[in-house]
Amino acid sequence: MRTIVFLLRKEFLQIFRHRIMLVLIFMMPLIQLIILANAADYEVDNIRLYIVDRDGTQASQRLVGLFEASEHFEILGYGQNPEAAFNSIQGNETDLFMDIPAGFEEQLSEGGPAAMQVSVDAINGVKAGVSNGYVQAILQGFAMAYAKELAVVEPGTAQPGQLGIEYSNWFNPDLSYDNFMVPGILVLLVTLVGMFLSSMNIVKEKEIGTIEQINVTPIRKYQFIIGKLAPFWIIGLLELSFGLIVGKVIFDIPFVGPLWLIYLFAGVYLITVLGIGLLISTITDTQQQAMFLAWFFLIIFILMSGLFTPIESMPEWAQRITDFNPVAYFVDVMRLVLLKGSGFSGIQPHLRVMIIYAILINALAVLNYRKASS
Amino acid sequence: MEKSISVNQLTKRFGKFTAVDAISFEVDKGEIFGFLGANGAGKTTAIRMLTGLSKPTAGKAMVAGFDIQRQREKVKRKIGYMSQKFSLYEDLTVRENIVLYGGIYGLPNKVIREKSGLMLENLELKEVSKTLVKSLPLGWKQKLAFSVAIMHDPAIVFLDEPTGGVDPITRRQFWEMIYEAADTGVTVFVTTHYMDEAEYCDRVSIMVDGRIAAMDTPYQLKKDFQAKSMNDVFLQLVRPEKSTAL
């Protein structure tokens, strides 16, 4: 125990001696949180739209008005000539053009289906999909309102059955992207700091040779490893607290569930992440190799965490991979506790997996760490 | 006489390459034993096996009364080690390094305090006790590293090319520290490729291609090889075809 105290003191002395490192550890998340939370969301705004109105009637005008009123669209061109619309999308001046054919109003007032064409620049598939959704929503709203009015004006007209859906967004009523993204990004930051710092720190001792000196002393493996991981465990939790405060103060993210649950999970989670860092350090010899390997895991963990793309929409095999992704569990727990207000029973399955993960990874890392080379 | 180190047929192979080829020798308690050889002769590999950093492929060795294969951790309590890449933490101060190693070897706080005071005084490092080790001159670092390596009163201290890269005067001063330590009964096992340093040893062994080519006192070796200096002896062993004496 006393040996561990000496080792901890050494680690903290070294960490605090490198002022730049300290600034990096705490400024980096602050900056990233502010930038990413504001930039990385699924919303698409300022979709540049060109409308070809070959009908030129009241009905078509009204439809155009709806698009004008939408915050998602910016009408860049309006005319009768489809050629011009085509050219503008070709020339990357617009993202989308809508072609209202002649006879549009006539078809509508007869109650029949009115055809129109929407063409989207789909180079950015995500943006195209989202744009499509917005267009669909506006068109549906328009068609429904029109049919209703028609029924009032001409009571005899046959009205197609209408199905109105009203959405109610639970746990994130305003569909706030900050609420959705900030807790997730926080997980990434804690992961990043934990995995990098732990793997680099041990490999650095290998590089400069001080690990040899440690290995000829009677220090036990577990003492050395606790001495190495505990400081970063503490820093990770501090970082999490710091991030939560920033999230609360700047983004006003809700803390619906109990915070101690977050810390309980984070405590186990960090042991897993630090264990992965330790494992990386046992199989690499230089900081460069460790960095490379850590990135390899991090990229997969982050992109498959469900933060940027929903896990449910991944192919089956990819979903099975995310079963082994610790980041995905923590992102989920953050959202469950902070937004939904889940209690202990709500995150129990996650916690169970994470405890097993922490034990397995660290056992592997400890087995792989050798004081003597063979 | 009590044997501090006894090595029997110790061998280390890396794949097909045999770095250390069945070497055997004994070192007495309190002796200064020079372990000589050209670069790549297997000195460092041998010292790494004796200090428990590397597992032998075959053979047996007892260090400070313990088996290096089966009682590696017990051996570690009894030895001090200073390697050519010094072993101090450059981003810690002189005193912080002393306290760290004192603590790792389980010395009580009071002893650490006393020893570090004494050490700083003897090394004339009192003024720089709060200086980071990285800003010390190389010679000072080596002396400090040596003092730290014997701080826990080990039975044997292993020095792997402890004086690399410093001038002859600083090397001479370093050897005075080695003598002082040996006078207190510590066995000193030192590798070097400076042949003038070989003359300071009680006994030397010269390794060539993983084997011990000669082992005796410097005086006897010079006599046997009809050489004026240890350097001559060394050259005759390492490059026999070019020598005239044999």
The Cα of A181 is separated from the nearest Cα of chain B by a number of Å equal to: 39
Q: Please state whether A139 falls in left (phi above 0), alpha (psi between -120 and 50) or beta.
A: alpha
A209–chain B Cβ distance below 8 A for any pair: yes
Please give the torsion angle defined by the CA atoms of residues A358, A360, A362 and A363, in that order, rounded to the nearest 10 degrees: 150
Q: How far is A160 from A163, CA to CA, in rounded Å?
A: 10
Q: According to the model, what pLDDT value does residue A153 have?
A: 65
Q: How far is A127 from A96, CA to CA, in rounded Å?
A: 11
> Contacts of residue B83 in chain A, CB cutoff 8 Å?
209, 212-213
Q: How far is B232 from B235, CA to CA, in rounded Å?
A: 5
Q: According to the model, what pLDDT value does residue A352 have?
A: 95
Q: How far is A188 from A180, CA to CA, in rounded Å?
A: 14
Q: According to the model, what pLDDT value does residue B98 have?
A: 94
Confidence of residue B97 (pLDDT cuts 50, 70, 90): very high
Q: How far is A79 from A98, CA to CA, in rounded Å?
A: 11
Cα torsion A246, A247, A250, A255: sign: negative
The Cα of A313 is separated from the nearest Cα of chain B by a number of Å equal to: 49
Helices (H), chain B: 43-50, 72-78, 94-104, 109-122, 138-149, 168-183, 195-198, 218-224, 230-238
Q: Looking at per-residue confidence, does A320 or B238 come out higher? A: A320
Q: How far is B33 from B5, CA to CA, in rounded Å?
A: 10
Do residues B232 and B245 touch, judged by C-beta distance below 8 A? yes
pLDDT at A225 over 80: yes
One-letter amino acid at B116 equals S
pLDDT in tens, A288-346: 999 999 999 999 998 888 887 778 778 888 888 888 899 999 999 998 898 888 888 88
The DSSP letter of residue B132 is: B
Q: According to the model, what pLDDT value does residue A172 have?
A: 60
Provide the residue ranges of all domains of chain B, joining segments of one domain with +.
3-85+155-242
> Does the structural domain B3-85+155-242 have CATH classification 3.40.50.300?
yes
Q: What is the mean pLDDT of residues A166-177?
A: 60
Do residues A350 and A264 touch, judged by C-beta distance below 8 A? no
> Contacts of residue A6 in chain B, CB cutoff 8 Å?
99-100, 103-104
Phi, psi of A111 (to 5 degrees): 80, 0
Interface touch A210/B73, C-beta < 8 Å: no
Question: Of A11-20, A100-109, A120-129, A202-211, which gets the smallest average pLDDT?
Answer: A120-129
Q: What is the mean pLDDT of residues A169-180?
A: 65
Q: What is the mean pLDDT of residues A38-50?
A: 74
Q: Which chain A residue is nearest to residue B158, measuring alpha carbons?
A: A216
Interface touch B85/A209, C-beta < 8 Å: yes
Helical axes A287-303 vs A326-334, angle rounded to 10°: 50
- Which of A14, A16, A217 should we substitute to test contact with B (largest number of B Cβ atoms within 10 Å)? A217
Cβ burial A207-217 (10 Å sphere, 16+ → b, else e) = beebbbbbbbb
Q: How far is A42 from A131, CA to CA, in rounded Å?
A: 11
| Chain A 9-48, residues with CB within 8 Å of chain B CB atoms | 9-10, 13-14, 17-18
With a threshold of 0.95, tell me whether the complex ipTM lies above it. Answer: no
Provide the residue ranges of all domains of chain A, joining segments of one domain with +.
2-40+174-368, 47-153
Q: According to the model, what pLDDT value does residue A162 have?
A: 47
Distance set, CA A357 to CA A270, A361, A362, B141 (Å): 11, 6, 8, 44
Q: How far is A248 from A236, CA to CA, in rounded Å?
A: 18
Topology at the third CATH level for domain A47-153 = abc type-2 transporter like fold (3.40.1710)
Share of chain A above pLDDT 70, in %: 91
